[in-house]
Structure 1
Amino acid sequence: MTLRIQLVYRGAPQELLLDGSASVAELRSAAATELAVPLANLKLLPRRGLRLDASDSRSLSDLGVADAERIVALGPRAEELEREHAAEEEKRRREAPRNYHPSMLRGTKPRSTATAAPPPPFASIVPHPQTAPDSPQGQRVLAVLHRLAADSGVVHVCRLHDFTVGILTELLPHENPELLGLNENAGQRISLRIRTDDGVGFRSYLDVRRVLLHELAHNHVSGHPRAFKVLNSQLNAELEAYERAGKEGTRTLIEGEAYEPAAAPDAGPATSHVLGGATAGGKDRREVVLEATMRRLEAAEREIERGCGGQ
C-alpha cells in the first residue's frame, strides 16, 4: 500500500509517496532528500499522539501513519548552512590576530594585557528567510530578538551556565501553530514564536523570554526529563532573583560588571541589599528565593513544554 505523506515545510505542502512498509528512518531520508535539508538537521513534527522515532523499526502503517498524513518538517537547507558557515569563517578570519614581519614591529608598544570582555552569548540575530527585514513587521520582530539578546537578565543567566547560541531567529506561526520554540543542535540555532497565530499581533515579551530560557536549557539537556525540569526552573528563578536584586540596588555580575536598574514608575528609593545571607529558618536567602520561584513557575512551564520542539 502506498502512503501519500503531506510534508509541510515553511508553510508549503509537498507530497511524498512511500510504501506503507517503509520505516521512520526511510521516511526521514526521503524527506531530507526532497527538501534538501541535511538529515542531521531535519526535525519531523507529526500530529499529536503519533511518534516518529528514527530508532523504531516498525513500518509506517504499523505506527498508525495514515494516507494523506500531514507532517511538519523543520530545519535549515544545506545551502543556508553553507552560507552561515562561510559567514562564520569570514568573521573568524577578520578577527584573527595578524602576523607581522619583525621589521614592522620595531618601535611599537605592547598592547595592554587586560582581560577582554567575554563575547556575547548570541552570535548572530537574523530574520526568518520568509520575512523581509526592512518591512515594518520584520523590523519589529528584529527589535524583539535584539531586545532578548541584550536583556541583562538573560545575559546574566547565559554567563552563569556558559550558554551560547549561534543564531537567534523567529519561528513563524504557520510553520506549526502549536510550537512556541525550537532549539536545534544544542544551541546552533534557537527559533522563537514572536508573533501571534494570525501573524499580525505580537506575543508578550515576558512570555517569549520565558520560552527562550526553556530553549536555552536544551543546550545542556535533551528532551524533558526530570533533570531538564530542574534546570529550567533554576534558570527562571535565577533571572527573577537577579531582577529583584536589581530593583533593590546596584548588583555586581560574575564578570565584575555592574547592573544599573532603570527607574520604574512605581519603584521606591533604591536601597543597598546583599543577595544571600541567612534567613530566620537558617536557609540562605538565595535558596529561599529560588525555591519559591520554582514553585510559582511550574504551571507556566507545563504550558511552554507542550509548545517546545526541543529534543
Structure 2
Amino acid sequence: MGCFVIFRFPVPGSSGLRLVSRQKLLYKGKKPTHTPETTVRDAGLSHGMKVTMLGSTDQELGTMIKVENEQRLRETIMRERASKSAIKVRSVNTTKPNSFIFHKLEPLAHLPDPASALQLLQRLSSDPAIKHVMLTHQLSVGLLTELAPDEHPDILGLNVNAGQAIKLRLRTDRYDGFRSYNDIRRVLCHELTHNVWGEHDNNFKELNSKLNREVGEFERRMRDGSHTLMSPENVYEPSPLALETEARAHVLGGSEPPPLPNESTEERRRRILDAALSRLREEEREIEQSCGTAPTSESH
C-alpha cells in the first residue's frame, strides 16, 4: 500500500527548506506515525526501496492560488447579482393600499332583512372595479350604510364630510326588494366623487365621468384577461371606445337594436352610441337631483 511521508530536505531546483511543507514521499510499506523529526530510518525506508517525491514549486502554487481566488471572486459576484435581482427598484409609496377602502359597513337594523342589505353592502365594498378606482384615486370612506326610503324619499345617495360616511338607497320604495346593483353602484361612484368635489360643477362632472369610465373599462379588461393588477403603478388610460363600453354596459345591457334600411355599420354604431349617451346623461341628471350631498361643512 502507498503512504506519504514528510521529510525536511530540499527538492532539487528549490530554495532550501521553504518547500518542506509542500514535499511528500510516496512509497510502499506500512504507514507509521510521522512527525517533523521523523528520519528516513524511522520511516522504515531501506536500501533499494523505490521512493517517489512529490512537491509544488512557488510558481505552481501561485497559479493554483490565483485560480482559487478567481473562482471565489466569481462566486461572490454571482451571489451579489442574485440578491440584487430579487429587488425591484421602484418608487416608494408610503401610503398603505388598505387605507383606501370602506372601513365599516352597516345596514339599518330596523328595516326588513338587514342580513341581505349587509350582503349588498359587502358586494359593493368588495367589487373589484370599485376597489380599483378607490385605490387609483386614493378614496377612503369611513362608513358605508343605507338610506331608508320613507325617511329620505327623494334621495338616492349622500356623502357626509367628504368620505366620513356614504349613505345609499338600497331598497325599493315599497321595501319589497332591492334596487338594481348597477344603479346602486352608479350612485356610489357619484358619491365617491364628492370625496374630492362638493359642488356639482365641471370639476365634479369630469371626475364622476372618469370614475364611471374606469369602472366599465376595468370590467372589460377583467373579462378580456388583460388587467390583473390593482395598484397606482398600473393605472391605465381609457381606450377611445371606453365611453361606448360604459354606455352599453350600463344602459343598453349589451343588446343592440336591428339596423335601419340602407344604414351603414358606422351609422348604426353612431346611432346606438348617441342613444346610449343620451340615456347616460339623463340618468346622471336624475342621480344629481337625487343626491343629498351639498357643499357645506357636512359634506365637503
Matched, 1:171 2:171: no
What is aligned with 2:40?
none
Q: What is the deviation of 1:167?
A: 0.2
What is aligned with 1:289?
241
Matched, 1:145 2:118: no
Matched, 1:309 2:277: no
What is aligned with 1:205?
181
Please identify, of 164-173 and 116-125, the stretch whose mean Cα deviation from structure 2 is larger. 116-125
2:284 maps to a residue whose letter is E
Aligned with residue 298 of structure 1, among 263, 281, 286: 281
1:305 maps to a residue whose letter is E
SS of equivalent to 1:174: coil
Q: What is the deviation of 1:287?
A: 4.2
Tell me how far apart the structure 1 counterparts of residues 113 and 287 of structure 2 sit (CA, whole Å).
24
1:180-226 CA-partner distances (Å, limit 9, x unpaired): 00000001010000000012221001100100000000000002111
Matched, 1:252 2:232: no
Tell me how far apart the structure 1 counterparts of residues 232 and 160 of structure 2 sit (CA, whole Å).
32
Q: Could you tell me the percent identity over the aligned residues?
A: 43
Aligned with residue 211 of structure 2, among 230, 235, 244: 235
What is aligned with 2:12?
none
Matched, 1:161 2:141: no
Please identify, of 289-298 and 165-174, the stretch whose mean Cα deviation from structure 2 is larger. 289-298
TM-score (norm 2): 0.52
Aligned residues: 171
Report which of the two has the higher share of helix. 2
1:102-159 CA-partner distances (Å, limit 9, x unpaired): xxxxxxxxxxxxx97534510000122534xxxx610010000000000000000101
Matched, 1:118 2:98: yes
CA contact (8 A) 2:97 2:135 kept: no
1:126 maps to a residue whose letter is E
CA contact (8 A) 2:158 2:292 kept: yes
CA contact (8 A) 2:100 2:135 kept: no
CA contact (8 A) 1:233 1:298 kept: no
Inter-CA distance 256–159: structure 2 relative to 1 (3 Å threshold):
closer
1:54-75 CA-partner distances (Å, limit 9, x unpaired): xxxxxxxxxxxxxxxxxxxxxx
CA contact (8 A) 2:124 2:130 kept: yes
1:186 maps to a residue whose letter is A
Matched, 1:219 2:195: yes
1:32-81 CA-partner distances (Å, limit 9, x unpaired): xxxxxxxxxxxxxxxxxxxxxxxxxxxxxxxxxxxxxxxxxxxxxxxxxx
CA contact (8 A) 2:105 2:145 kept: yes
- Superposed, which structure 2 residues align to 1:1-311 within 5 Å? 118-119=98-99, 121-128=101-108, 130-131=110-111, 137-255=113-231, 286-292=238-244, 293=246, 296=277, 297-311=280-294
SS of equivalent to 1:118: helix
2:182 maps to a residue whose letter is L
Q: What is the deviation of 1:160?
A: 1.0
Tell me how far apart the structure 2 counterparts of residues 287 and 164 of structure 1 sit (CA, whole Å).
26
Tell me how far apart the structure 2 counterparts of residues 248 and 257 of structure 1 sit (CA, whole Å).
20
RMSD of the TM alignment (CA)?
Answer: 2.8
